Structure 1
C-alpha cells in the first residue's frame, strides 16, 4: 500500500510537471499569436498608408512642379517598405511553420491575405508609376526648355530696354542741344 501510494505520488508529480510544461508551451503559443496579430495590424496600417500615398501621388502627378523628385522619393520609400514587408512575411512564414502550424495558419490567414493584397497593390503602383514617369520627365524637360527660353527672352528684353533708354537719353540730349541753339539764335 505504501509502495502504491509512493508510486501514485511520483505519477502525480510527473503529471504536475507535464501540466506545468504544457501550460508554458500554451502561454508561448498565445504570446506568439498575439505578436503575429500585432504584426498583421502593422501590415494593415502600412497598406492603408501606402494607399493614401498612392492617392496623393496621383494628385501630385497632375501638378508638374518638381513631381519627378517627389515620385523618386516616394518610389524609394515604397521600395524600402516593400523590403521590410517581405522580411516580415518571411518571419511570419517561419513562425507559422513551427509545431502549432495549423492553429497559427488559421489565426494568420487574414494577415497572409493582407500581404498578398499589399503585394498586388505594390505591383499595380509600380506599373502605374512606370507608366507616368516618362510622361512627367518629358513634361519637366519641356518646362525646363521653356524656362531657359524665357530666361533668354528676359535677357534680350533687358538689353532692348537698356538700348531704348540709351536712345532716349541721346534724343533728349540732342533735343536739349537744339533747344539751346534755338534760344541762343
Structure 2
C-alpha cells in the first residue's frame, strides 16, 4: 500500500503542485492493475491499493481537469521485464520458440513497445480530451471468461496449508 498507493499519490500530488502553481497544463499516466476491478486472491493489499490508484485517476481527472491537467491510468498485461515470474518467462520462451501462448486471448504476451505506445498516446496531444480513463493493455486477458467455471480451490489449499482454525 505504501509503494503502490501512497507513492503514487505523492508523485501525482507533486506534479499537480508544480503545474497548478505555474498554471501549465499537463498529463499524468499512473500505472494500475486489472485486479483493481476483479480482486486478487492472495494479494488483497495490492488489489486494494490498485483500486485506490484507479479511483485517484478518476477523482483527480475531475478535480484538475479545469486546469488543463489530464489524469489517466495504464494497466499492463503480461510484458517481459526483469523480475518476471515463471509463468511469464515460460510464455516468452514458448513465443520465442514460435509457439503461441494458448493461455492468452491474443495468443501471445505483449511487446514492451506496445505498452510504450499506449503510454505515449495517453500523454500526447492526440489524447487531450481523454481523462479519468484507465486503459488496459493486455490483449483482452483480463476480460476472458471460461464457458465452464473452474472449481474453486481455497487459497490456503493452493498454498498447501490446512483449513483455517482460529
**Normalising to structure 2: TM-score of the pair?**
0.31
User: As a proportion of its length, which structure holds more helix?
Assistant: 1
Which structure ranks higher in relative contact order (CA pairs < 8 Å, sequence separation ≥ 6)?
1
| Higher-strand-fraction structure | 2
Which of these two proteins has the greater Rg computed from alpha carbons?
Answer: 1
